[in-house]
Structure 1
Amino acid sequence: MLIDTHSHIYSEDFNSDIDEVINHAYENGVRKIVLPNIDSSSVKKMLDLVDSYPQICFPLMGLHPTSVTEDYEEELTLVEYWLTKRKFYGIGEIGIDLYWETRFLEEQQTAFTYQLRLATKYKIPVVIHVRESFDEVYEILMMEKTADLQGVFHSFTGTKEQADKIIDLGFKLGVGGIVTFKNSGLDKVLQDVDLSHMILETDSPYLTPAPNRGKRNESANIIYIAQKVADLHQISIDEVARITTENATKLFGI
């Protein structure tokens, strides 16, 4: 059994064939799919998919850093509203993104801190988006870390030193399609990281792994990520599936 711990298959990219996408994932051993939210505009579609597949799809609630603009306080109010209305399995996708936008760094920092505190309040994990912002994210985590705060650095692409810092915090590394990219260098980092610190993800419809690069990503493709990790650690894909599934099950409580 595999768990895709980060997938946006509720997006419009899947409007025409979402049932086939879910079935294809199931046929490839994917039994659970974690759905991080983006902002207020994505909540309904995400929850509609969860209600259609409640045994497979598990929602998170949060405000994505690239959606943090002048009205971010209103967005955060809606995040907290939804947390009182139904069960969510984590706060996400949250963090800091300095690749697409640098004007709202202060707002992103405030929104990130606020949502970390929500995770502590509700005792659920966080899914952290980090893009050209590791130092900024790490600094806030060091200030906000509590015994109850757990989570994952989504789509990890950092150095071994950064991986060690994440692990020392008690967080997981989210391993996605980038590990299969020929020149990413991520394979060299992850071959020295114990599997107990990893969970697998696709980030569908983005970051499609080899050999399907250039096509829309979907949860079924997590099999290629698992195989790459198995090759790096010279173990069976069944063992990778067992360990990463245990890690994900424990982290998200699913």
Structure 2
Amino acid sequence: MQFIDTHAHLYLPEFDSDRDEVINRAIQQGVEKICLPNIDIRSVNPMLALVNKYPDFCFPMMGLHPSSVRKNYCDIIKKVQEHLLRENFIAIGEIGIDLYWDNTYRKEQMKAFREQITFAIDNHLPVVIHIRESFDEVFQILDEFKPDYPIGIFHSFTGNLDQAHRAIAMGFKLGIGGIVTFKNS
């Protein structure tokens, strides 16, 4: 059996004190690869530094996380796409729509998500989709690309059975995270 961590932000400052230990423990436990989703422009360099340190173990993704979307998202998306064209990334991620904490940039999140899906399809890259309180919006946008959905993962899936069936019917995989251990899940 092959173990791949499809979603780890090991380049963040929270791991500065034990990053190498975490990676070595993962290797010792049989993890063969760790995929690193990007968050915003500030996280690109630390992510790529980790990939350079562990080139056969850490694999980068490039995207703009929905919580990082603001009014100026167009400028940031342009920089994300420039990185995608210059570097070797395994997927577009972490992208999506997150309406859990704040709806202020809902429209911008939807536009940014749509643009990144388009870029993924045009460049034959899978996507890693982040969804919080936004399944209707995500499905609405994905349906715009029917029947040419991108391939990818609904990261840390928290939807219901109908939403799971719908995502799977579109060809997506479901990422199951730690939330599944909560009593109310």
Q: Which TM-score tier does this pair reach, normalised by the shorter chain?
A: over 0.9
Conservation of the 8 A alpha-carbon contact between 1:93 and 1:128 = yes
Q: Report the 3-state secondary structure (helix = DSSP H, G, I; strand = E; otherwise coil) of the residue aligned with 1:156.
A: coil
Conservation of the 8 A alpha-carbon contact between 1:97 and 1:132 = yes
Conservation of the 8 A alpha-carbon contact between 2:152 and 2:173 = yes
Q: Deviations over 1:208-254 (max 9, x none)?
A: xxxxxxxxxxxxxxxxxxxxxxxxxxxxxxxxxxxxxxxxxxxxxxx
Matching residue's letter, 1:24: R
Q: Deviations over 1:120-156 (max 9, x none)?
A: 1110101101000000000000112443611111100
Specify the alignment match of 1:77 in structure 2.
78
Q: Report the 3-state secondary structure (helix = DSSP H, G, I; strand = E; otherwise coil) of the residue aligned with 1:3.
A: strand
Conservation of the 8 A alpha-carbon contact between 1:178 and 1:184 = no
Runs of 4+ in 1 over 4 A off after TM superposition: none
Higher strand share: 2
Conservation of the 8 A alpha-carbon contact between 2:157 and 2:174 = yes
Matching residue's letter, 1:111: A
Q: Report the 3-state secondary structure (helix = DSSP H, G, I; strand = E; otherwise coil) of the residue aligned with 1:25.
A: helix
Conservation of the 8 A alpha-carbon contact between 2:62 and 2:94 = yes
Quick one: distance in 2 between partners of 1:146 and 1:66? 28
Specify the alignment match of 2:134 in structure 1.
133
Structure 2 CA distance for partners of 1:32 and 1:44, relative to 1, 3 Å: same
Specify the alignment match of 1:23 in structure 2.
24
Quick one: distance in 1 between partners of 2:97 and 2:146? 17
Aligned residues: 184
Q: Report the 3-state secondary structure (helix = DSSP H, G, I; strand = E; otherwise coil) of the residue aligned with 1:170.
A: coil
Conservation of the 8 A alpha-carbon contact between 1:130 and 1:154 = yes
Specify the alignment match of 2:156 in structure 1.
155
What's the CA shift for 1:158?
Answer: 1.0
Matching residue's letter, 1:54: P
Specify the alignment match of 1:35 in structure 2.
36
User: Comparing 47-56 with 145-154, which one deviates more in the overlay?
Assistant: 145-154
What's the CA shift for 1:55?
Answer: 0.5
Specify the alignment match of 1:94 in structure 2.
95
State whether structure 2 residue 184 is matched by structure 1 residue 184. yes
Matching residue's letter, 1:116: I
Conservation of the 8 A alpha-carbon contact between 2:127 and 2:151 = yes
State whether structure 2 residue 65 is matched by structure 1 residue 64. yes
Conservation of the 8 A alpha-carbon contact between 1:123 and 1:148 = no
Conservation of the 8 A alpha-carbon contact between 2:7 and 2:34 = yes
Quick one: distance in 1 between partners of 2:167 and 2:145? 14
Q: Report the 3-state secondary structure (helix = DSSP H, G, I; strand = E; otherwise coil) of the residue aligned with 1:144.
A: coil
Q: Report the 3-state secondary structure (helix = DSSP H, G, I; strand = E; otherwise coil) of the residue aligned with 1:157.
A: coil
Specify the alignment match of 1:188 in structure 2.
none
Q: Who wins on radius of gyration, i.e. which is larger? A: 1
TM-score, structure 1 length as denominator? 0.71
Matching residue's letter, 1:53: Y
- Please list every run of 5 or more consecutive structure 1 residues that lacks an aligned counterpart in the other structure: 186-254
Conservation of the 8 A alpha-carbon contact between 1:32 and 1:58 = yes
Quick one: distance in 2 between partners of 1:72 and 1:135? 22
What's the CA shift for 1:51?
Answer: 0.4
Quick one: distance in 2 between partners of 1:159 and 1:17? 36
Residue identity over aligned pairs, in percent, reads 53
Q: Report the 3-state secondary structure (helix = DSSP H, G, I; strand = E; otherwise coil) of the residue aligned with 2:94.
A: strand
